[in-house]
Chain A
């Protein structure tokens, strides 16, 4: 069991990361990545709603007729998103206002439905919860990294605190939409290159049982 849980964690964080491998769910969160704080709150929201939706849908999979499965999934997801929206409005009204429509858009975040279809439909509730949560973590890791770059270069701050020297000229492009696309592309490029290299190394180790010492 623990081995399986560990494998799910590794899969969702790295080998099958929702952003740079599955390319799912970029829509609703990329827009807020010019501020680290908003990104953190949004991604926590996405992780929690993915985890709880996966858990619920996995628990009730036997009772959902196939024909209405999609609409049931959407309704369950919107139920959790509404709860998150209400919590945000109550405890973090300022952030809730800044995020605007994007909280509601978690409903249509493909990652949640993707996990419900790909994992929760065939697994036990607890494991599905874990799968949803770790998918959210993989998602969070990438987006927070992007947000850190965008906030530091675009505003010269990190989580609202000034980190760049006073003479620093903010890069306007980093606040605007294109930079997010470029940064996602960079993350994809980096991750795929590293993975390809690891795969090549593994293949080489398999084909040559006695590897020659590599030259540095």
Chain B
């Protein structure tokens, strides 16, 4: 993984949206994905929040990794440091949005605290660390993964709306049929994999 030549950030951006969607192929961020995808407005808000936070976190934690963790040789602490980075970014974003745009805060605010424990964010950072991306790659990967997550949750929210009025076996109602739907979405996204083969 580490020895591979550096991938073009633009390619990486599209690859992380479609071919290696963080949710559909890496299963990250499932909890909030299932519980928030019931209606489109909140799915949109959460998706937007995840994308913004993931992009910023990828950039910040790349800098932290490069200039703090590696020089000090404290890689064993990296989990804790990344979690703190995420929490700090979320907290700061919350304060900035509150100050700058109260309207946006009203629609985004309730989702921000949820994001601290969203596995997709930490997942993206850990992937970035393991694959030793450069700075631009890290940002592209963060933004792409966030958008991929956003796309997936919007698709799922729309599909769930349609499923609501259809007869589903009693045992499969709710989470069950949602998992089946996600399975089909994952299969559809596999169709993209011929397009760009980038890890």
Contact surface of A with B, Cβ cutoff 8 Å: 20, 23-28, 30-31, 70-71, 74-75, 78-79, 81-82, 85-86, 100-101, 104-105, 107-110, 113, 173, 176-182, 184-185, 188-193, 196
Alpha-carbon distance between A139 and B79 when the two chains are bound, in angstroms: 23
**B-side binding surface: helix, strand, loop or mixed?**
helix
Q: Are B119 and A180 in contact (CB under 8 A)?
A: no
Q: Are A23 and B79 in contact (CB under 8 A)?
A: no
Q: Are B170 and A188 in contact (CB under 8 A)?
A: no
Alpha-carbon distance between A190 and B170 when the two chains are bound, in angstroms: 11
Q: Are B119 and A192 in contact (CB under 8 A)?
A: no
Q: Mark B1-39, 1 if CB is under 8 A from A, else 0.
A: 000000000000000000000001111111100110000
| Segment among B47-55, B63-71, B121-129 that sits at the interface with chain A | B121-129
Alpha-carbon distance between A189 and B173 when the two chains are bound, in angstroms: 8
Q: Which residue in B30, B76, B123, B186 is a CB contact (below 8 Å) of A178?
A: B186
Alpha-carbon distance between A23 and B24 when the two chains are bound, in angstroms: 17
Shortest C-beta distance, A167 to chain B (Å), equals 26
Residues of A within 8 A of B173 (CB): 192
Shortest C-beta distance, B140 to chain A (Å), equals 18
Residues of B within 8 A of A101 (CB): 123, 126-127, 129-130
Contact surface of B with A, Cβ cutoff 8 Å: 24-31, 34-35, 76-80, 82-83, 87, 113, 116-123, 126-127, 129-130, 169-173, 175-177, 179-180, 182-184, 186-187, 190
Q: Which residue in B27, B76, B169, B190 is a CB contact (below 8 Å) of A30?
A: B27
Chain A to chain B contacts (Cβ below 8 Å), 7 pairs: A26-B27, A31-B27, A86-B76, A104-B79, A182-B183, A189-B172, A192-B172
Alpha-carbon distance between A75 and B117 when the two chains are bound, in angstroms: 12
Known: A26-B31, A180-B27, A181-B186. A188 touches B172 (CB 8 A): yes
Shortest C-beta distance, A165 to chain B (Å), equals 28
Q: Which residue in B87, B122, B172, B190 is a CB contact (below 8 Å) of A71?
A: B87
Residues of B within 8 A of A20 (CB): 175
Alpha-carbon distance between A82 and B80 when the two chains are bound, in angstroms: 8
Q: Are B182 and A181 in contact (CB under 8 A)?
A: yes
Q: Which residue of A lies closest to B26 (CB)?
A: A31
Known: A27-B27, A82-B77, A189-B172. A100 touches B130 (CB 8 A): yes
Q: Which residue in B79, B87, B171 is a CB contact (below 8 Å) of A85?
A: B79
Alpha-carbon distance between A104 and B61 when the two chains are bound, in angstroms: 15
Q: Which residue of A lies closest to B82 (CB)?
A: A104
